[in-house]
């Protein structure tokens, strides 16, 4: 069955202007002006009426089985649901384990990842957790990446955080090399997602590893770079070195940081924004005592996008790159997620001109309607 979206302000994520988009079952069939449903075929015509039509969001840091537990058994977060994802506009994701690699296991994340794929999402995962040695399924990180199609790297592994194992440059180097080797054999990009804590010097470690072997620069993806002012300031040297960096959406400084980087560099290359959805968002005092905890949600991605649209500093087609194409490219997702491309899956969002989500289309089917 065909579905024809008429009169859309289309972003692929590049700005295309006013276009029509034709979907055949679950794939993009055609993009152009004055399109029609082919004669003799059943179809539905949807007048988008000048609203924004863009790719579904790619959220590459989601605790799909739930995170947390830093405050005891009652602070374990619940797993991601279908409705949580589609109501936030997320159609592709990368699952991570997080703090608890003891009572929660990568096997749980893998099963949840496969369940999400059965629901229609473009879902992947990373093996490992905060601590060392890196927890995995087959006994070696490289084997997990090699033998499981949906495992595309390791993470999130804690660096300079009191919940981790105080990983140093040599240990990070070994993990990155193992991921790279497994990924090469499997024909994947291979990534190591690194949780940044509050200690000083995290990017000194990252730079030492990447300068030891420049090919590892593209493997290492630090996240939470806006956790503190000094962590963000340290990240600039890494970004200038050509490293990838990830901003966690939803904080007081996340949208501002994206605007700062755009004004500073004139682009957002190698920058992504993720939600930390279903993870715990704990706060600690100076001695590491838990003072509060909340659950992350993917809805913060569009919340930050609306702030950026309102401020008008970053063009819309650039502002959506960190939550669409950049995210897919960073993790080597080649299925078309993060873009609107003829022949690829029809994972789409319809937004009004203020950035409010009006509809989520997953594999050509409307699964959320505001």
Distance CA 27, CA 365 (A): 10
Bond into 156 cis (ω within 30): yes
Token pair for residue 311? 């401020």
Q: Is 108 one of the catalytic residues? A: no
Cβ proximity of 346 and 364 under 8 Å: yes
Ramachandran sector of residue 21 (left: φ over 0; alpha: ψ -120 to 50; beta: rest): beta
Looking at the DSSP bridge assignments, the partners of residue 195 are 158, 223
Cβ atoms of 342 and 10 within 8 Å: the answer is no
For strands 280-284 and 271-274, give the pairing.
Answer: unpaired
Q: For residues 14 and 12, what is the distance between their CA atoms, to the nearest angstrom?
A: 5
CA angle 331, 337, 340 (to 5 degrees): 140
Alpha helix (H) residue ranges in the chain: 82-86, 106-118, 141-147, 169-186, 202-212, 229-240, 254-265, 300-311, 316-319, 325-330
| Active-site annotation holder among 144, 161, 246, 276 | 276
* Catalytic annotation, residues: 276
């Amino acid at each position: 069955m065909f579905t024809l979206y008429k009169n859309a302000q289309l972003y692929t994520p590049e700005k295309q202007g006013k276009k029509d988009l034709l979907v055949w079952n679950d794939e993009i069939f055609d993009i152009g002006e004055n399109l029609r449903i082919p004669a003799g075929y059943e179809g539905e015509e949807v007048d988008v009426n000048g609203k924004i039509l863009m790719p579904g969001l790619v959220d590459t840091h989601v605790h799909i089985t739930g995170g947390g537990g830093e405050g005891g058994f009652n602070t374990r977060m619940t797993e991601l649901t279908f409705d949580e994802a589609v109501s936030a506009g997320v159609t592709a994701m990368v699952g991570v384990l997080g703090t608890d690699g003891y009572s929660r296991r990568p096997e749980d994340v893998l099963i949840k990842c496969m369940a999400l794929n059965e629901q229609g999402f473009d879902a992947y995962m990373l093996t490992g957790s905060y601590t060392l040695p890196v927890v995995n399924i087959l006994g070696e990180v490289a084997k997990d990446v090699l033998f499981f199609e949906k495992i595309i790297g390791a993470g999130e592994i804690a660096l300079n955080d009191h919940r981790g194992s105080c990983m140093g440059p040599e240990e990070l180097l070994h993990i990155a090399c193992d991921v790279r080797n497994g990924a090469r054999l499997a024909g994947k990009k291979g990534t190591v997602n690194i949780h940044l804590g509050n200690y000083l010097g995290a990017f000194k470690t990252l730079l030492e590893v990447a300068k030891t072997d420049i090919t590892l620069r593209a493997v290492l993806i630090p996240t939470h770079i806006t956790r503190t002012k000094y962590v963000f300031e340290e990240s600039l040297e890494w970004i200038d070195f050509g490293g990838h960096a990830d901003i966690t959406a939803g904080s007081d400084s996340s949208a501002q940081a994206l605007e700062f980087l755009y004004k500073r560099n004139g682009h957002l290359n190698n920058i992504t924004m993720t939600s930390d959805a279903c993870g715990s968002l704990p706060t600690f005092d100076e001695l590491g005592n838990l003072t509060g905890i909340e659950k992350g949600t993917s809805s913060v991605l569009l919340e930050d996008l609306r702030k950026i649209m309102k401020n008008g500093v970053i063009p819309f087609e650039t502002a959506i790159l960190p939550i669409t194409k950049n995210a897919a490219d960073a993790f080597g997702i080649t299925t078309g997620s993060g873009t609107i491309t003829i022949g690829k899956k029809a994972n789409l969002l319809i937004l009004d001109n203020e950035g409010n989500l009006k509809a989520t289309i997953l594999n050509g089917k409307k699964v959320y309607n505001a």
